[in-house]
Amino acid sequence: MRFFVALVVVLASTCARADDAITVSALLHQGYDVVGVVQTASGAGGVYLRKQDKLYGCFVSETPTSPTISTRYCKPVE
């Protein structure tokens, strides 16, 4: 029984992490500031966010019918 409870806890915490994707909105809520923006040749955009010594580069995109500009992905800059 203890093994089953431990397994459920591990699976629940793994699912929670999958929901916590790094997005521009999530970084802004964590106190990151926008320090730069770029536009790619394809028309998509990029946003650079910084908090103290941590810098993230995020790429965003949209379509004429999309309700929002969505974060495609964010990665730490080293």
* Overall pTM > 0.75: no
Q: Which pLDDT tens digit goes with each residue over 1-51?
A: 443 333 333 333 333 344 578 999 999 999 999 999 999 887 789 999 999
> What is the full DSSP assignment across 61-75?
E--TT-SSPEEEEEE
CA 14-58-35 angle, to 5 degrees, is 125
Q: Which residues are bridge partners to 48 per DSSP?
A: 36, 57
